[in-house]
Amino acid sequence: MTLARSDYGAVIVGAGIVGLFTAYHLARAGAGPILVVDRGFLSSGGSGRNGGGVRQQWATRSTIRLARESVSAFRRFSSEFGYNIWFRQGGYVFLAEGPGELERLRSIHDVVRSEGLPSRMLSAEEVGRYVDGIAPGAVVGGSYLASDGTVYPFPAVWGLFEAARALGVEVALGTEALGLIVRDARVAGIATSEGNAATPVVVNAAGGWSAEFSQRAGLAVPNVPSRHEILATEPTKPFLDPMVVRASDGLYFSQTMRGELVGGLSVPHVPGTARGVPSSPRFLTAMARALVDLLPRLAGLGVLRAWTGYYDDTPDGLPVLGEDPRLPGFVHANGFGGHGFMLAPASSRRVAAVVLGEPIEPAVREFSIDRFLSPARTAHTETLQLG
């Protein structure tokens, strides 16, 4: 599709939930004409390929605060946007297979509690009350937060898409961002597969492809795309309310209201996006074995479909937000690992504030790319990059 204009107040690369939420916030604030470009179709990236988990149990306070704000936003989403995202707060249960993992979860639990959220530590017996049919001896305990939950990703993306367009945002799908136009050492425009456009600000919200686009802008970044796989089973009688995550290997799964189990397990893949998004027999085998070992009742349950998406990983497990000091006008909204969807409402609000020139919040400073450019980088690391 041909671009509607030759100049924009801001251009956002990536029409996933982070990019669309950012565009929505900017349009609500009355920012000049906004363009969102994406080389795929709506929901073709990580926003249409995730398990829909939304949690507030994290190891770092700054991430907990983003997550808590995002949960509140998801609770309002249906009334604000008119799309039912089926936000179900059935909680999150993290499982520990041994004493070391249990202590790790306890230290995270202490941080979550200190942030005002009523996390609970669970004995093995209590885990069984939330996860019916768990194999005897499979866990020694866990942690639980009742206000965590799951959403259905597709209506969330569509709701934002329609809301942003109703506010005048132009969304150009099937349009690739090829690179930047730079003048006087700052962003002056963007080159796309449908032509060039002048703009003083480009937001990189390209998810698993964000490192590639930063590199096209001449910027070295630490982001690494990694392929992760997920599946959905045939429906079975409802027995599970929370999302379940195992701390040892990142196994995660939840049950939809239709009875399907949806979940994933990390298996090794070569980093990068060059190999596309195929599913692998190795994943299906590993996932089936992990589920049946943990919940023997699932033996014989059929798999309906499997798919793949990309995480956008950083060395410290924290996102990258804010303007890049090496190229004024280039704004990062990436590096979320596999958790961009659940952190999008709060993160995008802060990114929009950066574009609007508002005072920089402490969270934006903490998540700045500066931490990777300075030898005196901060020591904070998010260690709960699971599920």
**pLDDT given for residue 1 in this prediction:** 66
- Calculate mean pLDDT across residues 80-108: 97
Q: How does residue 379 score in pLDDT terms, banded at 50, 70 and 90?
A: low
Query: Environment class of residue 184 by beta-carbon count within 10 Å: exposed (0-12), middle (13-18) or buried (19+)?
Result: exposed
Tally Cβ neighbours within 10 Å of residue 256.
18
Q: Summarize pLDDT for 210-249 with one digit per residue, the tens.
A: 999 999 999 999 999 999 999 999 999 999 999 999 989 9
Percent of the chain with pLDDT over 90: 89
- C-alpha span between 291 and 236 (Å, rounded): 14
pLDDT over 60 at 371, yes or no: yes
- pTM for the model: 0.95
What number is the average pLDDT over the span 367-374? 93
Flag whether pLDDT at 45 surpasses 60.
yes
pLDDT surpasses 90 at 275? no
Residue 18 has a pLDDT of 98
Third-level CATH fold of 1-89+148-223+314-387: FAD/NAD(P)-binding domain (3.50.50)
Looking at the chain, the whole-number percentage of residues with pLDDT higher than 70 is 97
The pLDDT score that the predictor gives to residue 387 is: 55
Cα 138 to the chain's mean position, in Å?
29
Q: What's the mean pLDDT in 254-279?
A: 89
Q: Cβ distance 148 to 58 under 8 Å? A: no
What is the model's pLDDT at position 52?
95
Average confidence score pLDDT of the chain: 95
Q: Which single residue is written with the structure tokens 């040892």?
A: 248
Pairing mode, if any, of strands 195-198 and 320-323? unpaired
Reported confidence tier of residue 160, pLDDT bands at 50, 70, 90: very high
pLDDT given at position 93: 98
d(CA 84, CA 269): 35
Q: What is the pLDDT averaged over residues 5-32?
A: 97
Q: Residue range 66-73: average pLDDT? A: 98
pLDDT class of 382 with cuts at 50, 70, 90 = confident
**Residue labelled with tokens 């998540």:** 367
d(CA 369, CA 367): 7
Q: How confident is the model at residue 122 (pLDDT cuts 50, 70, 90)?
A: very high
The tens digit of pLDDT for each residue in 286-314 reads 999 999 999 999 999 999 999 999 999 99
Residue scoring higher pLDDT (114 or 360): 114
Question: What is the model's pLDDT at position 145?
Answer: 98
By the 10 Å C-beta count (0-12 exposed, 13-18 middle, 19+ buried), 163 is classed as: buried
Backbone angles phi, psi at 15, to 5 degrees: -100, 35
Comparing 204-208, 287-291, 382-386, the range with the smallest average pLDDT is 382-386
* Architecture field, domain 90-147+224-312: 2-Layer Sandwich (3.30)
Domains in the chain: boundaries: 1-89+148-223+314-387, 90-147+224-312
